[in-house]
Structure 1
Amino acid sequence: MTKYNIFIKSDKNRAIAKAILKKDITSVVTSEMKAQGFRKHFVEVDAENENEAIDKFNEHNSGYLTALGDFSGSIMIISAVVVVMALVYFFL
Structure 2
Amino acid sequence: MHDLTGFQRDLLYVIAGQDEPHGLAIKDELENYYEKEIHHGRLYPNLDTLVDKGLVEKGELDRRTNYYTITRRGSRELEDRRNWETQYVESAETSVTQ
TM class, shorter-length: 0.3 to 0.5
Bigger share in strand: 1
Bigger share in helix: 2
Report the structure number with the largest CA radius of gyration: 1
Query: TM-score, length-normalised on structure 2?
Result: 0.39
